[in-house]
Amino acid sequence: MTALIDLASHLAGDPSSPAVKTVVTEIAAACARISRVVAGGAILGNLGAAGITNVQDEEQKKLDILTNDLLSDALKACEPVAGIASEELEHVETTGRHGGYLVTFDPLDGSSNIDVNVSVGTIFSILPAPEGREPTEADFLQPGRHQVGAGYAVYGPQTMLVLTLTSGVVGFTLSADDRWLLTHAKSTIPADTAEFAINMSNQRHWAAPIRRYVDGCLQGKEGPRAKNFNMRWVASMVADVHRILMRGGIFMYPWDAREPTKPGKLRLMYEANPMALIVERAGGKATDGVTPILDLAPSKLHQRVPVVLGSANEVDEVARETVAG
């Protein structure tokens, strides 16, 4: 087998600015450290709840806090970073530096899976920062199209880092000696699929279009879709999106009537935008049901959004149902 190239060699051939590459390198190093902290599990005494809730009113796990601190500290010390925003922090934090980049992140996605040893991950998004002054919270509220890069790390049977910068989607696997080696040179999502991902236990709370779409899948060969579908739901967005990147599929976290005033569960700035950029760059689609996620104008830092992403023809099918009402 020929030797695999590492992240630094890959970045050397990428047309992104040196500053973006510095930010990505720092995030990758932090994710390698997070991988160890996650893998240490009960040995390190890191499992279980922290006994407090975050700004989203969600119970924080000890690892939510540890990983948030680890990534925040690394990014605040990183020269080209002017500000950060995290799912776990109420407000944005600035570094006192001007220009460069803003980073938004979900330090540990899939918290409900930590204590049961199922894949979790880290998601990040890199946005340009304003020149000549410190950024404010309003500067973070840029549409996803403005991202100069996005990615995620998945801590599973293998720890992987998936990245998109100026084009394409690449994947690295963390080696035993802590190097990110390029194992997936160009990931693409097939336009067609027969696999869907949604939390079926919320079925009775969905709006009619999602009910109709999923019902069509469930009817299989005998129904309107005339083919059998399979279902998977890891309940870590990172792991569900990673599966879709590897073999296609559609992922949905729609609005539902459990909390009717919330547009959805997933967060635009930390989850939907970075994943939407990756999915589009891999040839898939990502919408809120109809509108591309990347075209949404954020109005709040912790804004939630319905998410439908993955194989293009299935995302279009959901859009048809949504428009039909």
Distance CA 88, CA 54 (A): 6
Q: DSSP character for 76?
A: H
Does 240 interact with Mn ion (rule: CB under 5 A)? no
Which window, 141-149, 188-196, 234-242, 254-262, contacts ligand AHG (CB under 6 A)? 234-242
Which window, 23-31, 66-74, 108-116, 161-169, contacts ligand AHG (CB under 6 A)? 108-116
Binder among 95, 104, 111, 147 for ligand AHG (CB under 6 A): 111
Q: How many residues lie near ligand AHG (CB under 6 A)?
A: 13
Question: Which C-beta is closer to ligand AHG: that of 24 or that of 234?
Answer: 234
Q: In terms of Cα–Cα distance, which of 197, 287, 194 is closest to 242?
A: 197
Distance CA 249, CA 257 (A): 25
| Partner whose footprint covers residue 235, from ligand AHG, Mn ion, none (CB < 5 to 8 Å by kind) | ligand AHG
Q: C-beta of 147: minimal distance to Mn ion in Å? A: 17
Binder among 28, 30, 106, 293 for Mn ion (CB under 5 A): 106
Distance CA 34, CA 153 (A): 9
Binder among 235, 290, 292, 317 for ligand AHG (CB under 6 A): 235
In this structure, are strands 101-109 and 81-86 parallel, antiparallel, or unpaired?
parallel
Q: Is 227 part of any known ligand binding site?
A: no
Task: Tell me the CA distances in angstroms from 47 to 131, 152, 216, 287, one per residue in order.
Answer: 41, 22, 40, 34
Does 313 interact with ligand AHG (rule: CB under 6 A)? no
Q: C-beta of 111: minimal distance to ligand AHG in Å? A: 4
Please give the residues from 43 up to 102 whose contact with ligand AHG meets the rule CB under 6 A: 58, 87
Helix/strand/coil for 205: helix
Helix/strand/coil for 117: coil
User: 């547009």: which residue's tokens?
Assistant: 263
| Partner whose footprint covers residue 125, from ligand AHG, Mn ion, none (CB < 5 to 8 Å by kind) | none
Report how far apart the first and last C-alpha atoms of the chain are (Å, whole number). Answer: 53
Binder among 243, 265, 281, 285 for ligand AHG (CB under 6 A): 265
Please give the residues from 54 up to 93 whose contact with Mn ion meets the rule CB under 5 A: 87
> Biggest alpha carbon distance in the chain?
62
Q: Is 280 part of any known ligand binding site?
A: no
How many C-beta atoms lie closer than 10 Å to residue 115's C-beta?
15
Does 139 interact with Mn ion (rule: CB under 5 A)? no
User: Can you say which residues are annotated as belonging to the binding site?
Assistant: 87, 106, 108-112, 199, 265, 271
